[in-house]
Amino acid sequence: MSITSIDRHAMGHALGEVQRNTPLVHSITNYVTVNDCANALLAVGASPIMSDEPADVADIQALCASLVVNIGTLNAHTIEGMHVACATAAELGHPIVLDPVGAGASGLRTSTAAALLDRYPVSIVRGNMSEVKALAGGAGTTHGVDVCPDDVVTEQNLEASAAFARQFAESSGAVVAITGPIDIVADASRAYALRNGSPWQGRITGAGCMLSCLTGAFAAVSEDMLVAAMGAVGAMGVAGEEAEGRMKSHDGNATYRRRLIDALCTMDPMSCARGIEHEEVGA
């Protein structure tokens, strides 16, 4: 059982620290959602830098406070960049967030994510349950870049899912954030369920990628990686609800995308903290 439970104050505080410190976050991410990732980082008060060229990433990472690696549109050249950047971050003691997009969907994605997790001191893994199961070498069969229906976290499998998350955190040495209708964030000893968000987040591309980048921003200003991951997941969930509340007749997913980033931009740490619904599971 955990010694101290994570309270909403700590999560709100982390957002405030991002706003106060404007951490530089280096992302190697996919070209599909990269613009949203940059604007989401700016929205929460961080400063984004994207660089994936092996000959560029070490200098860039050295300027930054954290690294986010997202394998959504990996290629042979950017995989090399991911390794160089992770090695630099490791050397400098910067937190690394890994988003294993599509792990389980292709051999290259699974092996690339597994190699990064194996070789570098990844601080936080942020993915859906199928991707995390694929990384754990388990039975997850990723449905493209979306979670496999059988893998969705529900009230029924919540205890088992939390146990799996703690186990994965223990074996990998990373905090894990498994997101979906119910989010689970865990380290080796504690697992939390977070119940914020909106079904609209599944109707846009990039909700997960943006969250991984926010996690990099929170990690850059936090001591405790569990607090960082929960703060980012909580902030995105609260923003997701706020954005849903502003949808009008005839609005669709493009408007939702805009409202989601706007909600991150106008978010107050205190009211964000008040909105987060979380509870410890199992333990």
Enumerate binding residues for a second copy (CB under 8 A): 24, 30-36, 38-39, 42-43, 47-53, 55-56, 59-60, 63-64, 72-77, 102, 105-109, 143-146, 203-206, 246, 250-255, 257-266
CB of 267 to a second copy, least distance (A): 9
Burial of 93 (0-12, 13-18, 19+ CB in 10 A): exposed
Bridge partners, 178 (sequence order): 127, 184
Phi-psi label, residue 253: left if phi above 0, alpha if psi -120 to 50, beta otherwise: alpha
Which helix (H) or strand (E) covers residue 50, if one does? strand 47-50
Nearer to a second copy by C-beta: 31 or 279? 31
**Which residue's CB is nearer to a second copy, number 72 or number 234?**
72
How open is the CA angle 163-200-187, to the nearest 5 degrees? Answer: 20
Residue with tokens 């609800």: 241
For a second copy, the closer of residues 26 and 166 by Cβ is 26
What is the layout of strands, in order, in the sheet containing 191-194?
Answer: 47-50, 24-28, 66-70, 96-99, 124-127, 175-178, 183-186, 191-194, 278-280
59 vs 279, which CB is nearer to a second copy? 59
CB of 1 to a second copy, least distance (A): 40
Distance of closest approach, residue 7 Cβ to a second copy, in angstroms: 27
Nearest distance from C-beta of residue 108 to a second copy, angstroms = 5
Phi and psi at residue 103, to the nearest 5°: -55, 135
CB of 246 to a second copy, least distance (A): 7
Taking CA atoms, 68 is separated from 178, 217, 269, in Å, by 16, 9, 23
Residue closer to a second copy (CB basis): 103 or 132: 103
Question: Which of 30, 172 has the CB closer to a second copy?
Answer: 30
All residues at 6 or more sequence positions from 59 whose CB lies less than 8 Å from its CB, including other chains: none
User: Of the two residues 177 and 261, which places its CB atom closer to a second copy in the complex?
Assistant: 261
Q: Strands of 93-182 (E only): list them.
A: 96-99, 124-127, 175-178
Smallest distance from a second copy to CB 191, Å:
29
- Kindly state the smallest distance separating residue 236's Cβ from a second copy, in Å: 14
